[in-house]
Amino acid sequence: MITEKNRIIRSVLDIAAAVGGRIKGDKSLVIKVLSPIESKTANSLTFLSNKKYLRHLYGVNNRAILCHDDVIDIPEIDDTLIIVDDVYAAWSIIQKLFQGNDELTFEISDRSVVASNVLFSPRVSIGHFVVIESGVTIGDETVIKSNAYIGKNVSIGSNVTIGEGVKIFADCKVGDNVTIQANSVIGSDGFGYHFIDGRYHKIPQTGNVIIEDFVEIGANVCIDRASIGSTIIRKGAILDNLIQIAHSVEVGEHVAIAAQAGISGSSKIGNYVQLGGQAGIAGHVKIAKGNKIQAQSGVAKDIKSENGKWYGYPILSYMNYLRSYALFKKLPEFIKRLQYLEKRINQMSEKDSQ
Amino acid sequence: MITEKNRIIRSVLDIAAAVGGRIKGDKSLVIKVLSPIESKTANSLTFLSNKKYLRHLYGVNNRAILCHDDVIDIPEIDDTLIIVDDVYAAWSIIQKLFQGNDELTFEISDRSVVASNVLFSPRVSIGHFVVIESGVTIGDETVIKSNAYIGKNVSIGSNVTIGEGVKIFADCKVGDNVTIQANSVIGSDGFGYHFIDGRYHKIPQTGNVIIEDFVEIGANVCIDRASIGSTIIRKGAILDNLIQIAHSVEVGEHVAIAAQAGISGSSKIGNYVQLGGQAGIAGHVKIAKGNKIQAQSGVAKDIKSENGKWYGYPILSYMNYLRSYALFKKLPEFIKRLQYLEKRINQMSEKDSQ
Amino acid sequence: MITEKNRIIRSVLDIAAAVGGRIKGDKSLVIKVLSPIESKTANSLTFLSNKKYLRHLYGVNNRAILCHDDVIDIPEIDDTLIIVDDVYAAWSIIQKLFQGNDELTFEISDRSVVASNVLFSPRVSIGHFVVIESGVTIGDETVIKSNAYIGKNVSIGSNVTIGEGVKIFADCKVGDNVTIQANSVIGSDGFGYHFIDGRYHKIPQTGNVIIEDFVEIGANVCIDRASIGSTIIRKGAILDNLIQIAHSVEVGEHVAIAAQAGISGSSKIGNYVQLGGQAGIAGHVKIAKGNKIQAQSGVAKDIKSENGKWYGYPILSYMNYLRSYALFKKLPEFIKRLQYLEKRINQMSEKDSQ
């Protein structure tokens, strides 16, 4: 690997070696950048995961393509090919190569305020303008970025990244290998009030949030602490940006939640469930394992069967929603046909009675 | 009260005294933690608000239950009971007991930047990395958390909590007993543009935001300043997380807005209105007092009658939406019946004409 | 212009001169504040853009109105009038007059951390508690507000405002005359995962975000970097608050996106498109130029025709949605009519067969 003005440059040969791939074409071709298949940049590497994008391969020079061997015999393609069995897995490795590796430096900024009884290994990085309250524990190789806030008695595992401006409030627990992106808020007070004598009285929110291992959380996400007990995000769950997780919710293992979805208080989302963007889950709802909720859908009741696909507001089964909606579009026609029938029957009935 | 490794521990006797409750069972039982009824933790206290959760009471030792006296004679329950008239009210008191009281220390962090002409009582707390601009006034016992920003001439009342990372821009006014949670933005510029000669020209947003007393605002909320005049959140209103309040909106007294709901410019929300999660209100709409808008619903026109319940996109009355939606689900069947009728009428009419 | 306790005060004569307007009434009237037409504040100036607000003009003293000349002859109006051809354009000028001009002071806070190889002109302002990483370039008269974070190799043009708490991550590019409001996150990692062996594996997100000239971005917005290549916001686009722009999206020139709308990965939004609040666009969708998507609508497929208006979930043409929805409301009635027809046909058919 050489670098040119801070840029990482590698040959096709190096790259193929890194992913265990075979080369067809110019082994010495230099790759300066990874690019989308449409972009046709010289000295770039892209990947072909699906033959429907084949048309993008024509007429480009000095480019390399990461692909399966089913492309190898197409004669019109001039690109240099790196042929592998698993394109996605190889692409992930290559992306890491090109990301460079900002070597982690384990420093505690002296512009930050860290309470005296915080426990952390020497291999921890704490950025500028961070506040870490008393009783916090932080695992090995964990990075806390600038302007973050870590409340009292929070525990954070190893190999965790806490993004810039993230706030994690008292008593919350974050496992190992977790990423929380910028400006997300973990452990805010839940939206719990009694309505007495014409006004709302806050119910103290004394629980916490538990984020298990390998969870990934996007930017500007809110996860409220439980009123009592814990709001839990189980291991391997992935959350996109701008998501709302209310108090006492449980998000199961390997759940995927797209941006702007929201889950109301005390609902339980089973393992491997997928929520589309802007989907909404009412309070106290249980969704069984493996169900997929389409974007913008609303779930107001338990889903007891597993692995279904759901759509609508409130949800129907995916196919039923599409069927009904296809007919909804044609309602003007159907109503006309209904009116015409009424007219004909009236005529027939008049005729009959004559 | 004794403490054990920073934990607050109380006896059932102490707790019953604090809430004026009667005890049935072990007066000396020590309570270490509040817990949800399902969790069956030893030395915990939970509450029973509804008999449908009775099944959770069996087979737990060393636990206490806060409840009404209608549970007292159920023989199978071994738990120690604290019996009160108003379970919710008592629970709130107990939660406060167990929250501990981090005694407020009134300090101004020397890591913060406070303009010279800011007016505040000696009983104010300002966290680290805060910026407070000139002309700001701050009331008694108000707490400004770390990384917050308070713009020029903002006034903030007494007993207010401004959360970590909150930004409040110039000329906004915050009343007494207000809470604003982390990373919310108050007084951002509204989304106002003229479209002239093929592009958007910003309309200066010269108004402010007024937040009256006893308002509670969640995390990552946006409340835009009025273009002229004021965006107003009236007293006692409660706002969950990730809510959008556009410029020149008025939110009435004791309005409750669930997470991810949005209100477009210049709309007026009457007192005691409730907006469900992800509900959307168009611009220049008035909603009369006491109306309830279901989650994800869309309000495009004024609601002039009071205390209604609404659902749909755009809204219908709640019952009408449910009725129509129940039939929407059955459209495939109805269309078949329509087609069958058409066929029969054609047959009858052919027969007739023979 | 004189000032009174920090307030800007001007006479009607001054104001009319600034906008090239004619005066009818009291030239020496002093204007202390701009106000909405309903507010009837003495010594205020408001504007009348539409005759339907005429009723607000009566019974107010010492107020001036900016208006067209079609109002001039209405006898009952006592207000002083400033008459112009283009009320909106004049109002924008006046608002700027009254905003005062906080003269920009070009200072770098010594409480901020700026890497040694950052390039910027002497005419740049950097607030407190800001972190600027190595390789950043910043144009003339650009302002970076407090608690912002600017990642490695980010380039920012001239006359840009980066709001308080905004995070812009490595390699992103921001053009000239751009505004990004508080707590928005630019260049967060996109939501890209492979699901292999029962769990999600993150796909490195190695692209960036490009924000072209004259773009305006609200508060708490998230714009993810492309997995490879660039997420692009083209010139003149305006984005409201709490918006999600996923990885590899392209937002066209002069697109307007209302609050809480979301665009999923790799979608392309044509020039002059308008997205209503809480609208959602699925992934890999193309929307042609000039289309308008109603609030809360869901777009799941390409829109190939230009300048359409769309509504629904998923979208139909605006008029078709309204037509179908009007009939949806009446489904209970239609089903009754269908049942009645069935009954009559059965009777007729019985009679026939007798």
Q: Which of C92, C182, C325 sits opposite B167 (nearest CB)?
A: C182
Q: Calculate how close chain B gets to C63, using CA atoms only, in Å.
A: 15
Q: Exposed/middle/buried for B101, CB within 10 Å: 0-12, 13-18, 19+?
A: exposed
Q: Which residues on chain C are in Cβ contact (under 8 Å) with A44?
A: none
- Please tell me which of the candidates C111, C164, C295 has its beta carbon nearest to residue B167: C164
Task: Report pLDDT for A354.
Answer: 67
Residue B226 Cα, gap to closest chain C Cα (Å): 10
The verdict on a CB contact (< 8 Å) between B337 and C342 is yes
Q: Among partner residues A193, A224, A348, which is closest to B349 by beta-carbon distance?
A: A348
DSSP for B37-89 reads: GGG--TTEEEE--SGGGGGGGTT--SEEEEE-GGGTT-TT--SEEEE-S-HHH
Distance to chain B for A146, nearest Cα, Å: 11
Looking at this protein, which amino acid is placed at residue C114? Answer: V
Chain B CB contacts of C278 under 8 Å are 262, 278, 280
Looking at residue C274, its pLDDT comes to: 98
Are B248 and C36 an interchain contact pair (Cβ–Cβ within 8 Å)?
A: yes
User: Is the previous residue joined to C122 through a cis bond, with omega within 30 degrees of 0?
Assistant: no
For the stretch C6-32, pLDDT in tens is 445 678 988 898 888 999 888 888 888
Confidence of residue A110 (pLDDT cuts 50, 70, 90): very high
A155–B contact, CB cutoff 8 A: no
> What fold characterizes domain C113-319?
UDP N-Acetylglucosamine Acyltransferase; domain 1 (2.160.10)
Using DSSP, state whether A288 is helix, strand or coil: coil
Domain boundaries, chain B: 2-97, 113-319, 324-354
Contact list in A for residue B165 (CB cut-off 8 A) is 147, 149, 165, 167, 183
Contact between A95 and C262 using a beta-carbon 8 Å cutoff: no
CA–CA separation, C279 and C298 (whole Å): 6
What mean pLDDT comes out for the span C322-342?
Answer: 95
Find the residue in C nearest to B171 (Cα).
Answer: C99
User: pLDDT of A225-243, one tens digit each?
Assistant: 998 899 999 999 999 999 9
CB contact (8 A) between residue A220 and residue C183: yes
Subunit contact C327:A341, Cβ cutoff 8 A: no
Contact partners for chain A, using 3 or more CB pairs closer than 8 A, are B, C
CA-based nearest residue to B164, from A152, C181, A165: A165
- Cβ contact A328–B328 (<8 Å): yes
Q: At what angle do helices A318-329 and A331-353 cross, to 10 degrees?
A: 60
pLDDT value, residue A2 = 37
Most confident listed range (A38-47, B115-124, C35-44, C207-216) = C207-216
> Where is pLDDT greater, at B25 or C305?
C305
Residues of C in contact with A35 (CB under 8 A): 228-229
Which of A56, A68, A201, A247 does the annotation list as catalytic? A247
What is the tens place of the pLDDT at every residue in B128-156? 999 999 999 999 999 999 999 999 999 99
Band (B60; pLDDT cuts 50, 70, 90): low
Angle at C77 between CA C76 and CA C79, to 5 degrees: 155
- Would you call C260 and A260 a contact, using CB atoms and an 8 Å cutoff? yes
Q: Does ipTM come in above 0.85?
A: no
- For residue C55, the model assigns a pLDDT of 72
Residues 275-334 of A with CB under 8 A from C: 277-278, 295-296, 313, 325, 328-332
pLDDT of res. B244: 98
> Which partners does chain B have (≥3 C-beta pairs < 8 Å)?
A, C
Give the gap in angstroms from C-alpha A261 to the nearest C-alpha of chain B: 9
pLDDT tens readout for residues C231-285: 999 999 999 999 999 999 999 999 999 999 999 999 999 999 999 999 999 999 9
Neighbours of chain C (3+ CB pairs under 8 A): A, B
| Percent of chain C whose predicted confidence (pLDDT) is above 90 | 62
Q: Assess A128–B contact: CB distance below 8 Å, yes or no.
A: no
Mean pLDDT lowest among A198-212, A316-330, B296-310: A198-212
- Concatenating the DSSP letter of every residue in A112-150 gives SEE-TT-EE-SS-EE-TT-EE-TT-EE-TT-EE-TT-EE
C108 CB within 8 Å of a chain B CB? no
Residue in chain C lying closest to B351 (CA) = C352
Of A189, A201, A280, the CB nearest to B295: A280
- Cα(first)–Cα(last) distance of chain A, in Å? 98
Longest Cα separation, chain B: 102
| Distance of alpha carbon A259 from alpha carbon A279, whole angstroms | 9
Q: A2-97: what fold?
A: 3.40.1390
The verdict on a CB contact (< 8 Å) between B258 and A191 is yes
Query: Of the residues C56, C68, C128, C247, which is catalytic?
Result: C247
